[in-house]
Amino acid sequence: MSNLSFDDRDGTIWHDGEMIQWRESKVHVLSHALHYGSSVFEGIRVYGGNIFKLKEHSQRLIESAELLGFKIPFTLAEINAATEQVVRENNIVDGYIRPVAWRGSEMMGVSAQNNTIHLAIAAWEWPSYFDPEARMKGIRLDNAIYRRPDPKTAPSKSKAAGLYMICTLSKHAAESNGYHDALMLDWRGQVAEATGANVFFVTKDGEIHTPVPDCFLDGITRRTVIGLAKDRGYKVVERVIMPDELGDFVECFLTGTAAEVTPVAEIGQYSFTPGDISRQLVEDYDRTVRGQALN
């Protein structure tokens, strides 16, 4: 990935219905989204010039905005077409797409009923690394310093920018301690997810267990991997998982648009050995996003 700052690049960004030069895509400092978190976004991958699960991501963006009380002024078809245009005009082969919608600056205060709703879509090269051997080493997770909130206190089914504040803080703390990421619990003390990816565990008898997504996103990659696992004949169990159960599992992996399928070697005091099931799902996911048939 380029080391250039994200506000100083060549290329074009789709912004409120127009393709404009990358450096000209601006947001005013008094935008409601900056002060009150009224913004939603998506992360989408491009593999070999093909956008993976575009419709599902665009639909979730629309639904996320509705959960925050605003309507994106473009249809699903228009958002999909704009995304495809961004990828095409920026010549993205293997890359990442970031659609983002937000409340503008007409009103400044908690209430912002009359603010204009904006939508922008950017994309940049992000070479896909299909190297199962490297990924099979596994990453190390710390225990997060914050917990996922009760759905009664936050719109947890929305991919809302404000919900990621505690993820950034937890990931920064983990990185400061020498870890790659952090495992978050929820407000009840149950295992939830990593800071930006869902988590799965494998039992000694080969079952795959994953937390019920009742206070965090049921990720699109999560659902894809569950489908792949079931196609392979693995039993997938969605249930409440408590932290003291982690020692009972032999494998662990994360799933997400950015993470893809990433094995985990350590969570705090618990160790895992990335094995056959993790490897199989890494390979199956890689083939799926590239449009290849599974063996």
Kindly list the catalytic residues. Answer: 159
| Sign of the four-CA dihedral 173, 177, 181, 182 | negative
Report residue 249: phi and psi, to 5°: -100, 150
In the block, tokens 């900056």 appear at 34
Is-contact 135 165, C-beta < 8 A?
Answer: no
Which residues, 6+ apart, have CB-to-CB distance to 283 below 8 Å?
132
Distance CA 26, CA 23 (A): 8
Which 3 state secondary structure label does DSSP give 13? Answer: strand
Distance CA 132, CA 281 (A): 10
Task: Compute CA 57 distance to the chain's CA centroid, rounded to the nearest angstrom.
Answer: 10
Is-contact 160 67, C-beta < 8 A?
Answer: yes
CA angle 124, 42, 235 (to 5 degrees): 110
Is-contact 182 141, C-beta < 8 A?
Answer: yes
Longest dimension (CA), the chain: 58
Size (the chain), residues: 295
**Identity of the residue numbered 145:** I
Distance CA 115, CA 31 (A): 9
Q: Which strand (E) or helix (H) includes residue 165? A: helix 165-176
